Structure 1
Amino acid sequence: MVLGWMVERATERRLAGDWHGACQTAGVDVDVDLPAISNAHGKEVAGRIEDDLRHLVPDLLRWHLPQRPGDGLLRTGLCLPLAMFPDAYALVARPPGNLDEPQRIRLAFERLDATAPGKRDHSLLLLRDRWDSRCTGQLMRRCGGTTHLPFFTATGERRATQPETVAERAIRLDDEGRHAEAWAAAGFELQVLLFDPGWGRERIDPAAFAPGRTGDELRTSRQTVVEQSLTRLRPVHTTLPEAARRVAEYMTNLRHAAPLEQDKSSQPRYWGPQGEPPRPDPMPTDVDEHCGLVRIDRPGRCLVLDRLDTPRPRARLVAAVPYGQADDDRKRAEVAEFGLELARVPRLPSVLSRRPDELTGLLRGSLRPDQLHPLVHEALFPAGTTPAPPTVRIKDRVRIYCTGTIHEVVLRDGAIQIQDSPAEIQRERAMRAFGGPVRGCVAAQEGWRDPAVRMPSQMRGLRRDLMRLVHLGDGPAVAAALDSGIDPHVRDERGRTLLHLLPWLFDADLAILTRLLAAGLDVDARDVNGETPLHPAVAYGSPALVRALLDAGADPKARSERPFQRMAIWTGRRDLDFLRTLNR
């Protein structure tokens, strides 16, 4: 999820030429030392990296990164190369390592060797329109449109007029389950090949089934299996030639960036701090990107495309190799049919072989035009009006069940106002003193500041909404909630106050810190692990935030308890050297 104010501020700074400020606003930390790269890799490489950074749209990158459904948090543990450079180096984007870290993205120039952490995803190498301002217009072509998006007008309304374009007709037939007709409508000659006659229908070889059947019965059965083999592919058929060219360019770039093979016998078996580190594994460049073929892999089958630069391209449907192990007979059959083994044919990744997510969401109605990133909206609906960013508000009152009736709990003037009488409040607190649970309004009031007290579900939902804004880094929305009178002394399930969570707020941590201190929050408050606000600030916050907490009286020698004892002054961050001097 990308916040409206973040897009506006980052765009303003980016258009002013301040790419570093745009990244800072969008929560993107640039860990790239251009002078050091120039010394180590040459001025050309450093210049290419600087050019990519100048055209990086950090809020668009954030919008396209994989997110968890429901809460909108970034998926963790990914390694996403943006651009490749010689000797297997790359400009890499990394989302947070785990869900409990601030939703910041780290950009670094690093080597993609076998020891590089994270699950690697090369989709951003293939789709520069997801982060590069020079390429955002490519999305329209990837969706099969020229002047307007298929089935939509240039302003964003659903179009119901005829005639259909070739792309629209193929998409419609595909959605109706007439997959073979969709390929034919897009101009493809669809063929079905037989390489393994011994396979049964359960192995999904479209031609090797129904022994003994003839005539109409065989044709009907064959057509059914062919349709089953083509289902769920859902490509934009007219864009497949362009996708094949992208894959060829992608493989050429990988081959250029791949390190040379080394003589393994000359490498030391063991190496230490003074030894030579192992070279990275060669990149996967054992395919022939100039063979004129690409393949789309499906479970149990494979679709091989060729003649893509002609008016009559071809798609050949074949059985996949069982367990990925082709015997000699299969290899000879592949070479006779395609001129080379299928293992050497470049594979079309799903991000290029399937419809773009934006087109799928718009066609299904799960995504509205006003929910698109402004640059995506501009690319898909060039004559439309860029939608205004939505405003996010937190409710200031909820209705809960209390002692047999419905009461309204109001958050106003930094406090929680309840309808219980003083006698009822005293009775509930007496119950708690004797070890019993508190309920109703008193639980709503005390649980807001004490995670040990279980609040009514409506109050828990209100706290969850507030904490979601914090975890998304929506500082302006949190400030607006404080302006509306919400109690700032809230604690989450781990007992953390808003002071603990300041590193999660992009570009607003210092302003909100001042407000929280003025509201009386304890700068040395402890969470359930015994951590004070200075601990997460040292782990994730900026040096300015750490200094501001110290100036407010935070104890730099406060020790946490779990999962292990630590003090803020024990940090290894180089930009916090001033903390270590406090231990002398």
Structure 2
Amino acid sequence: MSPQPAAFPPEDGPAWQRIRRYAVPAWMIEQATAHRLAGDWRAACATAAVDVGFDLPGIASRHGAAVAEAVADDLRHFAPDLLRWHLPRVLGGRTTIAPDLRIVLASYGGADGPTLSVTTPPMIEGPQRLRLHCAQLLPVKSNRYGGGGSCSESWAAARPFWDARCAPELSARLGEPTGPAARIVQLQAAGDTDAAYAAAGIECDLTVPAPERHERPVDPRALFADPPIALSRLVPETRRLVAAGAGDRFRVAFDWRTSLLLEPEGSDRLRARFIGRAEARTVPVLPRYIWQRLPDLELVRTGRITPRELHPLVSAALFPAAGPAVGPPGPDTGRPVRVRCHGVWHEVRSRGGVLDVPHTPEEQRRERAMRAFGGKVAGCFAVQQTWTTGEGRLPRALRAQRRDLFLRVQHGDTPGVAALLDAGVDPRVRDARGRGLLHELHLLDHEVLLPRLLASGLDLEARDRHGRTPLLSAVHGGGSPELVRALLAAGCRIDVVDGTELSLSQEIRRYRRTDLDFLRERVDAEHPGIGTGWFDEYMKHREKDEDDA
């Protein structure tokens, strides 16, 4: 294998490793694949947490039977789990999907026809659900959580990322470079930027726009180093985008002020030059899959994961000799952890729904009494306290078990969470922000887990570090109206405020949650004036500014 520049900065390696383990669990891949092969694309989408915002009869009535059949043909081969696998991620230590993106998959029937697209979540830490659309592509206004509206990225020429029929093309188009492409990579690795661009068929002007007075000059060659550009793919993949009707020029955004403009020149060359912010506003962004190497190649190359842990379609394309893939590993049910307790080593573990410690009931009652009177606890009892409050430090192995649970929660892995509870994990666990499973129900299937958590005796009014109860967390974090109704039916109080003294009614208004008007009206009627005084004046000015805009 030829020398390769890294596919991502070293600090992103652990995040990509976690993404591949938790973002698309093996059960999701298996079930979505089974539904797709059975011809039930809607069930495949439901399994992969993709909400469908259209129906085929409606497409036929608006755009004709031929367009509806073309859409239906693509949907029969649509692999929503494969799409989720390849979606851009926030990174910077996070594992969630990059928010506010509209990924364009295919267009039908010319300029007036519909476009098949998917939108990513509006919140970085909110529910990781996607929404599939099929309609004319229109500008999207800012989302209710403060984002600037969806940024479009065309995957019309990237069918190996979402169309099961095309997944085998992944290696030839986006895999390890061979032949002349490998030579380009060698030139990049050696730092010979000019020669690498020339070998890739790109006429590149490395003149950077002059910085403004308060800005430092930009080193143009440093822009190509982190993350590296997959030069060998720029010409063929950009030509594919042009052929797909996605535009006639594109840009790679290096930072907030500098972009590289790419313009096709003839059939096999590109012209590239740097542009500043003003010109960049008029040019669509080049999809990241074109200019970034696949993270899977780097993860396998560095030993962070094995080919068998990849999505089966990805593994079969990139590493055919590795044998059938089984997907990401399942939940870690946890092993006993050694804890230093009063001069001796004890083993603690989650078992039977509690964090079990080798102490008699009398010893445990004595420690609880000591804690109630403000005494300091240590050893096994300190670990128990940290596990159920989130305050303090856990042994490394228990931190890993807690992290495994809450990463599955973050990515909506309800079967994984249920499997851990079945294995005896203590449901009273809190993360370092003091958030328990009830606080995170908006990320999971509450119909499966809420009855189980209530039966475990969890407190519906428990507060996290921000002073939010589970109901406040559901409203703040994008929870569904169905979850809110279920929490109300379970007995959650509505006369509550968070750590900034915002009431439920104010949170609903803050995020324009019109789907929760039923709760806002009830709070306002039963508890008028609850919440902080400055908020209503702030919202009055904000709403006026939005109306003026």
SS of 1:540 mapped into structure 2: coil
Deviations along 1:263-315, whole A, 9 cap, x unmatched? Answer: xxxxxxxxxxxxxxxxxxxxxxxx5x7xxxx9989869877764545xxxx67
Tell me the equivalent position of 1:22.
44
Identity %: 37
Q: 1:123 to 1:166 in 2, by over 3 A?
A: same
CA distance in 2, matches of 1:412, 1:363: 38
Residue 438 of structure 1 aligns with which residue? 377
CA change 1:248–1:191 in 2 (3 A) is closer
Q: Equivalent of 1:408, from 323, 331, 347?
A: 347
What is residue 124 of structure 1 aligned with on the other side? Answer: 155
Q: Find 1:142's aligned residue among 154, 165, 173.
A: 173
In structure 1, how many angstroms separate the alpha carbons of the residues matched to 2:160 and 2:58?
A: 28
Which residue number in structure 2 is paired with residue 561 of structure 1? 497
Q: How does 1:109-508 map to 2 (within 5 A)?
A: 109=134, 111-113=137-139, 115=141, 117=143, 118-143=149-174, 150=177, 165-179=179-193, 182=196, 188=201, 234-237=229-232, 239-250=233-244, 252-253=245-246, 306-309=265-268, 320=274, 351-359=289-297, 361-362=299-300, 368-382=306-320, 384-389=322-327, 390-419=329-358, 425=364, 428-451=367-390, 454=392, 456-458=394-396, 459-492=398-431, 497-505=436-444
Equivalent in 97, 101, 104 of residue 78 of structure 1: 101
| Contact in 2 for aligned 1:92/1:107 (Cα 8 Å) | yes
* Secondary structure class of the residue paired with 1:467: helix
Kept in 2: contact 1:557–1:568 (CA 8 A): no
Q: Secondary structure at 1:103's aligned position in 2?
A: coil
The answer to whether the 8 Å contact 2:316/2:325 transfers is no
Deviations 1:453-499 (A, max 9, x none): 54535445533332222222223332332232222233445655434
Cα distance in 2 for partners of 1:101, 1:295 equals 29
Q: Distance in 1 between matches of 2:253 and 2:441?
A: 46
Cα gap change, 1:555 to 1:44, in 2 (>3 Å): farther
**SS of the counterpart of 2:427?**
coil
Q: CA deviation at 1:380?
A: 2.4
Superposed, 1:505-520 pairs within 5 Å as: 505=444, 509-513=446-450, 515-520=452-457
| Distance of 1:3 and 1:324 partners within structure 2 | 42
Is the Cα contact below 8 Å between 2:142 and 2:150 reproduced in 1?
Answer: no
Inter-partner Cα distance in structure 2 for 1:107 and 1:483: 33
Does 2:32 align with 1:5?
no
Which secondary structure state, in structure 1, belongs to the residue aligned with residue 166 of structure 2? coil
* CA–CA distance in structure 2, aligned partners of residues 60 and 438 of structure 1: 48
Residues 367, 68 of structure 1: CA spacing in aligned structure 2 closer, same or farther, 3 A cutoff? farther
Q: Is the 8 A contact 2:153 2:286 kept in 1?
A: no
> Secondary structure of 1:456's partner?
coil
Matched, 1:102 2:99: no
AA in 2 matched with 1:56: F
AA aligned to 2:190 is E
Separation (CA, whole Å) in 1 of partners of 2:324 and 2:162: 19
Deviation at 1:322, TM superposition (A): 7.4
TM-score by length of 2: 0.68
**1:213 equivalent in structure 2:** none
Query: 1:29–1:180: structure 2 CA closer, same or farther, 3 Å change rule?
Result: same
AA in 1 matched with 2:497: E
How far, CA to CA, are the matches of 1:450 and 1:6 in structure 2?
Answer: 31
Aligned-pair distance for 1:14? 0.9
Given that 1:470 and 1:478 are in contact with CA atoms closer than 8 Å, whether structure 2 keeps it comes out as yes
Q: Which protein is bigger by CA-based radius of gyration?
A: 1
Is residue 129–residue 137 contact of structure 1 (8 Å, CA) maintained in 2?
yes
TM-superposition CA deviations, 1:365-403 (whole Å, max 9, x none): 556423432111222234542222323313243233444
Aligned-residue offset at 1:424: 6.1
Given the superposition, is the C-alpha separation of residues 425 and 480 from structure 1 closer, same or farther in structure 2, using an over 3 Å criterion?
same
Give the structure 1 partner of residue 20 of structure 2: none
2-structure distance, mates of 1:375, 1:557: 48
What CA distance in whole angstroms lies between the structure 1 residues aligned with 2:304 and 2:425?
33
Paired residues in the alignment total 471
Measured on the aligned residues, the alpha-carbon RMSD in Å equals 4.9
Cα distance 1:426–1:321, how it changes in 2: closer, same or farther (>3 A)?
closer
Shift in alpha-carbon separation, 1:530–1:360, aligned structure 2, 3 A: closer
1:270 aligns to what? none
Paired residue for 1:276? none
Aligned to 2:532: none
Question: 1:93-119 CA distances to partner (integer Å, 9 max, x unpaired)?
Answer: 223222442221122346432636434
**Structure 1 residues 312-359: Cα deviation after superposition (integer angstroms, max 9, x where no partner):** xx6777x6467878xxxxxxxxxxxxxxxx999999665434544444
Structure 1 equivalent of residue 535 of structure 2: none
Stretches of structure 1 lacking an aligned partner (at least 5 in a row): 152-164, 206-224, 255-286, 326-341
Deviation at 1:46, TM superposition (A): 4.3
Which residue type is aligned with residue 138 of structure 2? L
Note if contact 2:251-2:285 (Cα within 8 Å) is conserved in structure 1. yes
**Matched residue of 1:106: which SS?**
strand
Question: Which segments of 5 or more consecutive residues in structure 2 lack a partner in the other structure?
Answer: 1-22, 144-148, 526-549
- Residue in structure 2 matched with residue 260 of structure 1 by the alignment: none
Residue identity in the other structure for 1:127: A
By how many angstroms is 1:22 displaced?
A: 0.8
Shift of 1:414: 1.9
Instruction: Please state how far the C-alpha of 1:12 moved relative to its aligned partner.
Output: 0.5
Structure 1 SS opposite 2:504: coil
**Cα distance change, pair 469–358 in 1 and its aligned pair in 2 (3 A):** closer
Following superposition, the deviation at residue 19 of structure 1 comes to 0.8
Shift of 1:136: 2.0
**Contact 2:154–2:246 under 8 Å retained in 1:** no
Q: Distance in 2 between matches of 1:67 and 1:5?
A: 21
Between 6-15 and 70-79, report the one with greater CA deviation. Answer: 70-79
The 10-residue stretch of structure 1 (344-353 or 167-176) with the greater mean CA deviation from structure 2:
344-353
> Which secondary structure state, in structure 2, belongs to the residue aligned with residue 137 of structure 1?
helix
1:154 maps to what in 2?
A: none
